[in-house]
């Protein structure tokens, strides 16, 4: 009898655990705000049921939309998502508890458009969507995601009748990344850089602590940035068929930089220049290192108000040469070819194997035996000419053929794909093998997607049949609408 009681107690404990897990999985985490066509929801182990406006959503629930409809859902953190036609989407787990915020979704087929709520803002990276080919990491963003099978997306793409919207010309890409780096472009938006990320004209690139990045340009020139460095691409124009028109102008701001020139420096040397805080460097088909000793900033601003005056000219002749003997400076080491320092005191040539030090913009380059020990290794950043650049670093990402895989377009914020981070106005794809690339264009089937954007969708306004051309009234004859 005692044994029977113990067994019964064990069964009761097991049953309570099962019920507890089931209750957790079925926790209410949002609701349906609009549905058109058939929307069903199924919690594991339960019978599927038709859902409509106001019906609650739960953890562990799988949602399915019909072939001619869509649904708008809202989660408890304020996230809103529009599920496209023929979509299977599961709410794995949503937790809005402060300090433990997180959201995990799963996209089995179809696609959705989303604007995330406070979970992705309070804990960036804690809002994720798993798919059959990759996991999407979301950081406070608006984005579209779609799993393309066979030629369905290609057909939708052609149906738009639109050409891809191309982004700015990609002039370079991150060939090697170690640690953290970011870029700020003409839109003043910071982009996290990873291997394969594009570089555009006017980008200001910065590396983090104990980090380095190698930028490969389309003319085969390369730049390695050592830790805590900044450089800007002022100009970079390269057309193999128009060599006289090619030019490059880079600006080294601080830290350390290692550069090897490519085809522009080889065939049009006078059009390849590097501005530094202490001098402009002319290129003669070369490889060299620049390293700041201290801040290495241009300390001439105090004289700017006097520019083009007699007093300014007197300072140029008497004061600035003395002023140039104090403060930090920049070292330049040539390891291939030659460079020319273009300063206010004239031009100075530095050849292979030589090292020079420049105090500031008014000093003359001084030949030294070697860089200081703490600058010599360039923060373990590799020489760019010793880096193997993937053959498809540029070409693969320009392919506009719509193939099966995961396609993502970002309207705001950042989305992480495997090895690639997308920022506002950027798109990327992940092929069935899990390889991700950033695109140089926005695919029309996403840019002109007729599925309503949840950020602007107003269910009170009359809707046409978004996928058939009829009006809202005519559409009622063709499909079920649950509101």
- pLDDT tens figures, 204-228: 999 999 999 999 999 999 999 999 9
Q: Which tokens in the block code for residue 403?
A: 């193939």
What pLDDT shows up at residue 463? 52
Contact 418, 133 (CB under 8 A): no
Residue ranges per structural domain of the chain: 29-165+400-447, 200-386
Written as one string, the DSSP assignment of 117-142 is: -HHHHHSTT-EEEEESS-EEEEEEEE
What pLDDT shows up at residue 297? 57
Contact 278, 300 (CB under 8 A): no
Nearest 5°: phi and psi at 301? Answer: -60, -30
H or E stretch covering 6: helix 2-25
What pLDDT shows up at residue 233? 97
Nearest 5°: phi and psi at 379? Answer: 65, 30
Q: pLDDT, tens digit, for every residue of 51-88?
A: 999 999 999 999 999 998 999 999 999 999 999 999 99
Arch. (CATH architecture) of 29-165+400-447: Sandwich (2.60)
What pLDDT shows up at residue 169? 78
Q: Which tokens in the block code for residue 117?
A: 């709520």
What pLDDT shows up at residue 441? 85
* Cα–Cα distance, 444 to 429 (Å, whole number): 14
Weakly modelled stretches of the chain, pLDDT under 70: 1-25, 166-168, 297-327, 392, 395-399, 462-483
CA atoms in the 13 A half-sphere facing the CB of 14 = 6
Q: Which tokens in the block code for residue 206?
A: 């910065």
* Cα–Cα distance, 103 to 412 (Å, whole number): 19
Q: Indicate the burial class of 428 (C-beta count within 10 angstroms; 0-12, 13-18, 19 or more).
A: buried
Q: What distances in angstroms separate CA 306 from CA 75, 138, 166, 326, one per listed residue?
A: 61, 51, 45, 21
Contact 59, 92 (CB under 8 A): yes
Asked if domains 29-165+400-447 and 200-386 share a fold, the reply is: yes
Q: Which residues on adjacent β-strands are paired with residue 96? A: none
Domain 200-386, CATH among 1.10.287.3510, 3.40.50.1580, 2.60.120.1440, 3.40.50.2300: 2.60.120.1440
């Amino acid at each position: 009898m005692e044994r029977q009681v113990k067994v019964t107690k064990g069964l009761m404990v097991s049953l309570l655990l099962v019920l507890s897990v089931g209750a957790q999985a079925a926790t209410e985490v949002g609701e349906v705000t609009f549905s058109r066509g058939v929307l069903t929801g199924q919690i594991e182990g339960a019978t599927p049921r038709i859902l409509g406006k106001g019906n609650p959503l739960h953890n562990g629930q799988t949602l399915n939309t019909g072939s001619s409809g869509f649904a708008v859902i809202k989660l408890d953190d304020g996230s809103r998502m529009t599920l496209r036609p023929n979509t299977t989407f599961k709410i794995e787990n949503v937790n809005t508890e402060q300090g433990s915020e997180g959201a995990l979704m799963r996209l089995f087929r179809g696609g959705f458009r989303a604007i995330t709520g406070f979970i992705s803002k309070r804990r960036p990276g804690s809002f994720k969507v798993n798919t059959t080919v990759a996991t999407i990491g979301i950081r406070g963003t608006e984005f579209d995601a779609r799993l393309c099978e066979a030629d369905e997306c290609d057909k939708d793409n052609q149906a738009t009748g639109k050409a891809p919207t191309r982004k700015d010309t990609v002039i370079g890409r991150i060939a090697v990344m170690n640690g953290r780096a970011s870029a700020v472009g003409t839109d003043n938006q910071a982009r996290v850089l990873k291997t394969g990320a594009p570089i555009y004209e006017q980008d200001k690139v910065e590396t983090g602590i104990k980090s380095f990045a190698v930028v490969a340009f389309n003319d085969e020139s390369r730049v390695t940035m050592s830790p805590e460095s900044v450089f800007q691409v002022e100009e970079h124009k390269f057309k193999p068929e128009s060599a006289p028109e090619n030019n490059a102008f880079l600006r080294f701001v601080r830290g350390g930089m290692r550069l090897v020139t490519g085809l522009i420096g080889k065939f049009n040397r006078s059009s390849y220049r590097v501005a530094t805080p202490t001098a402009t460097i002319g290129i003669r088909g070369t490889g060299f290192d620049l390293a700041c000793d201290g801040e290495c900033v241009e300390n001439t601003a105090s004289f700017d108000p006097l520019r083009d005056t007699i007093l300014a000219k007197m300072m140029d002749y008497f004061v600035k040469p003395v002023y140039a003997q104090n403060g930090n400076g920049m070292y330049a080491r040539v390891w291939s070819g030659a460079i020319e320092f273009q300063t206010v005191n004239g031009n100075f040539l530095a050849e292979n194997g030589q090292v020079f030090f420049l105090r500031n913009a008014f000093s003359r380059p001084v030949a030294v035996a070697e860089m200081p020990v703490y600058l010599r290794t360039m923060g373990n950043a590799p020489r760019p000419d010793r880096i193997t650049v993937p053959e498809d670093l540029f070409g693969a990402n320009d392919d506009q053929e719509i193939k099966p895989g995961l396609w993502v377009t970002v309207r705001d914020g950042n989305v992480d794909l495997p090895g690639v981070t997308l920022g506002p106005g950027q798109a990327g794809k992940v092929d069935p093998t899990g390889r991700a690339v950033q695109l140089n264009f926005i695919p029309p089937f996403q840019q002109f997607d007729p599925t309503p954007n949840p950020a602007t969708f107003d269910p009170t306004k009359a809707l046409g049949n978004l996928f058939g051309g009829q009006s809202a009234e005519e559409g009622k004859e063709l499909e079920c609408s649950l509101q």
